[in-house]
Structure 1
């Protein structure tokens, strides 16, 4: 714990290091979308999610053990179960299944519309008032979402792609709901405990789904597929979130939220670079609208 305190002091004095860490985290998360897409060549989407978050959960339990952080309060276990279902089970079951039909770059943009849904749900359940500029930002973000979805509905008319996109939008809404639920029920629990145990409960839900849906499907464990599991489980899920929650104790939430907008940008770039995914005008225009909308909404929140 003393080393963590020293590291926190170092970061306070070296703001450039904070920016570098944020850049590395969002770069890893953006690249992880490509690995999630490629992993479908070796196993079913639910099975991969079970491997990924099972590995991530074990890593987080080791982190808590090393940091000598005990169990969360008993009265919070039920809330952690709900958070795990919303944050891990629903989000990544729907995202991984949607990736069977939707490009990795477009999927990352749709999922990172999450701040829009978080804000809308917060007005309902947290009684947060939306300032005028924030409402404008949310409207622009929703317009961007409709630009991406609408093009496929009216021009491509591929029911499989539309179905996959809708699954990922539902995942984004579930992610937003988990953020609101966290603020309602788990705000007084250590963020590392929340991340570890919601992931634990969420992983159990994913394992059950994988046995029910893909129990007899083949799993090809090769050097490449194991790399996908370890990278997304240990690095992208466990370690990056550990560093991320640590940074959240140093930087303000608005800066953190705005910085996550780099993830879909990197996701689209790697999709184009490594998977030869096409960046259509609707994806580019819609993506910029979503990013601009979320940026305006967060600037309005900061001013408020």
Structure 2
């Protein structure tokens, strides 16, 4: 029963991550909001939502979390928003989650985690599925955008790794969001001359921050204490697949046979890493 609950919670968290990609693309492409404003409203609304949840639990909003995690959260959110201005969804997702995998798996191996031959096979199968899904549709991104998305992926990997030690995930997430908002405000001020207020874009940012980010990240923090870094990294390979199907549902993007096959490869590969036991010895 506990395992089933963990799987369901993980599915919800991955859905929230995919929703962030969808909301960001819709805001930056279909509205006039700029990436600095999107980042600010996303983090601020997330901080407000989490503060409300913490207060309702009779806790203090800043009693958990730390500045290092807040900086990692800010770098991820800002890099994510700015990178998506000049790259396709596929290229961005591939760079983002590729960087996450390298960061978390490298740390896991450094700390002594090991994968069996079948688990490595599952990880490679998931990567092949991602490449099949994303590369044929990905325009070559600008170097600056690629570097920003890579930085965002590394920052998210660091944030996830630091979250593994959180005893109180909701309070920790709240503290991190609150500490990140001044950084987002500085970013907004720096880019203010080029910023434009747009109600629809702000609504997307608030939905991303208060729901997909605040609630999704708190949920992710609560799951991380139960799974190894390597499995946590591989689990996130499913997010680009979910994002593709979200684009099909909400943006009328075509789902081809290639998309279906690559999705099966990613999901199957993730399942192999999570469920296959490490070989003895």
Is the counterpart of residue 215 in structure 1 residue 192 in structure 2? Answer: yes
Shift of 1:228: 0.8
The 3 A distance-change label for structure 1 pair 211 and 303 is farther
Is the counterpart of residue 46 in structure 1 residue 27 in structure 2? Answer: no
Distance in 2 separating the partners of 1:282 and 1:116:
25
Distance in 2 separating the partners of 1:138 and 1:166:
24
TM-score by length of 2: 0.75
- Tell me the SS of whatever aligns to 1:216: helix
Is the counterpart of residue 93 in structure 1 residue 58 in structure 2? Answer: no
Shift of 1:231: 1.2
Q: Which residue of structure 1 aligns with residue 113 of structure 2? A: 128
Within-5 A mapping of 1:170-189: 170-183=151-164, 187=165, 189=167
Shift of 1:259: 6.4
Distance in 2 separating the partners of 1:240 and 1:150:
27
User: What do the CA deviations read for 1:130-154 (whole angstroms, capped 9, x no partner)?
Assistant: 433333344445555666787689x
Aligned residues: 275
Distance in 2 separating the partners of 1:226 and 1:60:
18
Distance in 2 separating the partners of 1:283 and 1:98:
24
Within-5 A mapping of 1:76-155: 80-86=66-72, 88-104=73-89, 106-113=91-98, 114-124=100-110, 126-142=111-127
Pairwise CA RMSD of aligned residues? 4.0
Is the counterpart of residue 204 in structure 1 residue 182 in structure 2? Answer: yes
Distance in 2 separating the partners of 1:257 and 1:122:
9
The 3 A distance-change label for structure 1 pair 303 and 172 is farther
Distance in 2 separating the partners of 1:94 and 1:105:
16
Q: 1:36 aligns with which of 15, 24, 31?
A: 24
Listed as ranges, the gaps of 5+ residues in structure 1 are 1-10
TM-score by length of 1: 0.70
The 3 A distance-change label for structure 1 pair 300 and 106 is farther
Q: 1:268 aligns with which of 244, 251, 269?
A: 244
User: What do the CA deviations read for 1:196-235 (whole angstroms, capped 9, x no partner)?
Assistant: 11222233323222322x121232332x223212211211
